[in-house]
Amino acid sequence: MRIFTFDTTLRDGTQGEAVSLSAEDKVLVAHKLDELGIDYIEGGWPGSNPKDKDFFERAKSFKFRHARLTAFGATRMARNKVEDDPSVNALIESETPVVCIFGKTWDLHVYRALNITEQENIQLISDTVRYLKDHGKEVIYDAEHFFDGYKASRDFALRTLEAAKKAGADTLTLCDTNGGTMVSQLAEICADIRKNFDGILGIHTHNDCGLAVANTLAAVEQGFTHVQGCTNGYGERCGNANLTTVIANLELKMGHTTIGKEKLTQLTSVARFVAELANMPMRNDQAYVGHSAFAHKGGVHVNAVLKDSTTYEHINPKLVGNRQRVLLSDLSGKGSILYKLKQHGLEDRLDDSARRELLDRIKQLEFQGYELEAAEGTFELLVREALRPGVQFFDIVNYEVLTRSSQSTANVTLKVQENVLTASATGNGPVNALDLALRQCLSTLYPAIAGVRLTDYKVRVIDFKKGTAARVRVMIEWSDHKRSWATVGVSENVIEASWFALADAMRLELMRLNEQDPNIQKAVEDYCWGV
């Protein structure tokens, strides 16, 4: 069955806490959703704010390949004639081919919020839908709070739908606006509506009970063919139905057609693109598209999945544009190391003893508080050191740092190729000073090291019950303008932990520069960091 997709990330999604999209961001997201094959893209509420006004002005020049841009609004205000209502006219002036309006379904809202009669509310719906249809719009009618309204007064809830339908609405969408309806109850109500209304019925759910996706799929099972939601589940309070998850489930689990199997391979990249523009961390555990969706850590799991991925993967991750990842930690087995080395032609570089030694070292570091799943740079260094035992580009003779007020001065002494090099540097804090002094020591013999830059610095207390005497884990992120990675250090002393992470980053880059083996790079990439 063909199911129409309606993405409201640019409107409902931006109502989520901390979600922020500029007008330019919204343009980029809209085009990306169009490329994915979304049927309807709700751009916002014209006239409600300058950002949406700017977006819809820009949108007049859009040429979508597939999607139909949709403007969102409400039924006319009770005190206005429909032709004089500024909000309704703003919808027409947006010049979008589709308009989505919401109206009141719950009698509680009619009496308390609008302070009008049931019949007056029915008239608001009829007038607005008919006026928009007279102006050539495809009209999607969102029945706000439908399930709460149905439970309060089934007769009135159905009359509101009848009003929209008779006035010409192309789609009737039932909204679980408060997100409090259980799956079985929602399915029962949807079945009743399907029996009483023909044409396209839609579903719009919120996730306040953690059931938004399940409720959406339940509606489809009752014959609904229009699904609304937000990319990555963004939205007010607990969010809207995660349209990314809904699409994958409809296509891969239920046999329906939404964006199509070919476009489905773009799902992961689009989800991450939207997360980046929204300035929201992508949830690792998000179904189908998260970094951890096909990640395996336990030794038993890893051993099985490397023999046959179906043992612990419900689909092939490539179907949604994701990838399988093997995580190395204190739960890992030697099979995961052997498999990846063999896969990339490196198995002859490490004998069984060396592989066991590498695994033991990983487990010991994790026991001490290192987190190699996130610190891919430190893990890569471990692999490279195991493959090239005895290679040491520099030894640390001594380092010290002194802080006065806001300035810190660091002195670093290294032994590099029989040379003892010392450097002193002043920086904005002890870590910056140590970083500068370390680079000065190395740059004489390794000038390319200047291309590595620190991009982020994080500190986490490990055993917090010890207070200020607790061990800390310092994670430093780096970039050399080609790729990014992270190194980690652990100590009771935050300066020492930072130093470990700094030194490891320099060692890793020197090993990369000395041996640019694509097989090694591919092997370490496959372990613990995502696409």
List, for residues 6-43, the tens digit of each pLDDT value: 999 999 999 999 898 999 999 999 999 999 999 999 99
Q: What is the CA radius of gyration of the chain?
A: 29
Q: Which pLDDT belongs to residue 84?
A: 96
3-state secondary structure of 240: strand
Q: State the DSSP H helix or E strand holding residue 367, giving kind and residue range, or none if neither.
A: helix 352-368
Is residue 119 packed enough to be buried (19+ CB in 10 Å), middle (13-18) or exposed (0-12)? exposed
CA distance 527 to 25: 33
Nearest-angstrom CA–CA distance, 521 and 301: 24
Compute mean pLDDT per 10 residues along the chain, 531 residues long, and list them. 98 92 93 97 91 92 95 95 96 97 94 91 97 98 98 97 98 98 98 98 98 98 98 97 98 98 96 86 91 81 77 94 73 58 62 79 79 71 82 90 90 89 92 93 86 85 73 86 81 93 90 68 44 24
Q: 3-state class of 244 per DSSP?
A: helix
**Predicted local distance difference test score (pLDDT) of residue 364:** 82
Q: Which two tokens stand for residue 187?
A: 């399915």
Which pLDDT score, from 0 to 100, does residue 519 have? Answer: 53
pLDDT on residue 20: 86
Q: Domain 4-277 carries which CATH code? A: 3.20.20.70
Distance CA 86, CA 92 (A): 10
- Looking at residue 530, its pLDDT comes to 29
203, 215 Cβ separation under 8 angstroms:
yes
Q: Is the pTM of this model over 0.75?
A: no
pLDDT for 205: 98
| Residue 168 dihedral angles phi and psi, to the nearest 5° | 115, 10
The structural architecture, per CATH, of the domain 395-516 is 2-Layer Sandwich (3.30)
Residue in the block written with tokens 């990842």: 325
Alpha carbon distance 212, 206 (integer Å) = 5
In the numeric block, which tokens belong to residue 487?
Answer: 């190194």
The domain limits of the chain are 4-277, 395-516
Q: What are the E-state strand segments in 306-416? A: 325-326, 395-404, 407-416
How many Å apart are CA 268 and CA 247, to the nearest integer?
A: 12
Task: Report pLDDT for 493.
Answer: 92
For residue 229, give the nearest of 263, 190, 203 by alpha carbon: 203
- What's the pLDDT at 302? 67
